[in-house]
Amino acid sequence: MSWLNEIDQRLAELDARTLLRRRREVLPEGGARLRVDGESLLAFCSNDYLGLSQAPALRQAVHAAVDLYGVGSGASPMVSGHSVANAALERELAAAVGLPRALYFYAGYATNASLVPALVGEGDALFSDALNHACLIDGARLSRATVHRYRHGDLAHLAELLAASPVRRKLVMSDAVFSMDGDVADIGALHALCEQHDALLLLDDAHGFGVLGPEGRGALAAAGLTGPTASPRVLYMATLGKALGVAGAFVAGPERLVEWVLQKTRSYTYATAAPPLLAEALRASLRCVLGADGEQRRQQLADRIEQLRNGLAPGQHAAFDATGWRLMPSATPIQPLLIGHNQPALAVMASLREQGLWVPAIRPPTVALGTARLRIALSAAHQPDDVDALLRALRKAAAQVAA
């Protein structure tokens, strides 16, 4: 069979196994509503945790920036793309997370895929949580370092692997908030192990920056490893398309590590810098996050999380309890409802969709076999009525799937 025919066949196989991914065309309708393929849906699938992607302050910042800078950045930051707006954003991001220096990247995936090979190479050792994000895994592959995968959150396992490694350059890497489970890494304990074994620590706080820690300064600040107590061995990475509501990412840390990253990370050197209009949107977003507006949005988010968890607690609804579905333990906006098998997870998603709600079902291979789930993502853009609608719809789905 020719290669091209084989591609047809493999696509057909994916389709038969309901693994063919399809995109939907969406248009924001205000709040957490999206018009999706012509239909209005209440969405619980966005990582816009503070609702900032639609905020007036960010829109105004973009309008003003377009007049000043135009649209594109024109070149890599190493050539002429390092706009005064991007430079100001880097200083403000560093200050926000309480670390000496930050670098602004155009995308999170490209950051990690290229950052890991900048830090380690052949003969070096990488220690990676089993549930780390795909871009850390791809960075590990590109680096050609030896990868030691430790069981999710199992720091005794990590300690064993570190102790057994004779290698001089060791890098431990972990998501700070795990994207499909919503749990938070024990950063203090990870750091202590890194000190004990003279390893560096890379943290990906894509889902924590803006949400966790004092004033939303992120998971590292929450762990007390910033400002005067910052560590010389920690590199902090966070993305800017989630709670910050725009796009992009940054890497922050001690001067010498960030200088090394600037010199050696190919997705920084060989990619066109993010447009200054996005840097200005992000500067406005950061002011919101750190100010009273952010505090209010985080409070709304915390209230919605509590409302959902209370509504799905055992004893609230018999038909729901009978399904065996349960919310995984999570205090973050990622609230996965563990269902188990793929078929019922898809059936619940379909039932919710019929009821006008969009909550994605996540299946293997994205998550472990037998742990298919609904990944409910909450946001400050959700109103109490929205979460009530979700609770009602889930109870109705429970009755349908049980019948």
Ligand X SMILES: *Cc1c(COP(=O)(O)O)cnc(C)c1O
Site string for ligand X, 37-76 (x = CB under 6 A): ----------------------------------------
Instruction: Give min distance, CB of 205 to ligand X, in A.
Output: 8
At 14, which helix (H) or strand (E)?
A: helix 3-16
Options 77, 81, 98, 108; binder of ligand X; rule CB under 6 A: 108
Looking at 38-46, 107-115, 259-267, 290-298, which segment touches ligand X (CB under 6 A)?
107-115
**Contacts of ligand X in 134-173 (CB under 6 A):** 135
Instruction: Give min distance, CB of 352 to ligand X, in A.
Output: 23
Q: Which residues of 104-122 are buried (b: 16+ CB within 10 A; e: fewer)?
A: bbbbbbbbbbbbbbbbbee
**Residue number, 205 or 401, with CB nearest to ligand X:** 205
- Pick the closest to residue 175 from 161, 189, 192, 187 (CA basis): 187
Instruction: Give min distance, CB of 134 to ligand X, in A.
Output: 8
Site string for ligand X, 230-259 (x = CB under 6 A): ---------x-x-------x----------
Helix 134-143 with 108-119: angle, nearest 10 deg = 30
Q: Does the footprint of ligand X cover residue 175 (CB under 6 A)?
A: yes
Looking at 80-88, 103-111, 165-173, 279-287, which segment touches ligand X (CB under 6 A)?
103-111
**Residue number, 102 or 389, with CB nearest to ligand X:** 102
- Pick the closest to residue 389 from 31, 48, 28, 49 (CA basis): 31
- Taking the C-alpha atoms of residue 207 and residue 218, their distance in angstroms, rounded to an integer, is 9
C-alpha to C-alpha distances, 381 to 24, 29, 49, 124, 355, nearest whole angstrom: 21, 12, 8, 44, 20
- Taking the C-alpha atoms of residue 401 and residue 160, their distance in angstroms, rounded to an integer, is 44
Instruction: Give min distance, CB of 11 to ligand X, in A.
Output: 25
**Residue number, 97 or 393, with CB nearest to ligand X:** 97
Task: For residue 278, count CB atoms less than 10 angstroms from its CB and return exposed for 0-12, middle for 13-18, buried for 19 or more.
Answer: buried
- Residue 365, number of CB atoms within 10 A of its CB: 7
CB 328 within 8 A of CB 180: no
Instruction: Give min distance, CB of 133 to ligand X, in A.
Output: 4
CB 270 within 8 A of CB 111: no
The contacts of residue 377 (CB under 8 Å, 6+ apart) are 44, 45, 46, 47, 49, 333, 334, 335
Instruction: Give min distance, CB of 240 to ligand X, in A.
Output: 7
Q: Does the footprint of ligand X cover residue 301 (CB under 6 A)?
A: no
Options 48, 129, 181, 204; binder of ligand X; rule CB under 6 A: 204
Options 49, 104, 109, 127; binder of ligand X; rule CB under 6 A: 109
Looking at 157-165, 202-210, 224-232, 359-367, which segment touches ligand X (CB under 6 A)?
202-210
Options 89, 116, 133, 194; binder of ligand X; rule CB under 6 A: 133
CB 85 within 8 A of CB 286: no
Half-sphere exposure of 264 toward its Cβ, with a 13 Å CA cutoff? 16
Residues that bind ligand X (CB under 6 A): 107-109, 112, 133, 135, 175, 179, 204, 206-207, 239, 241, 249
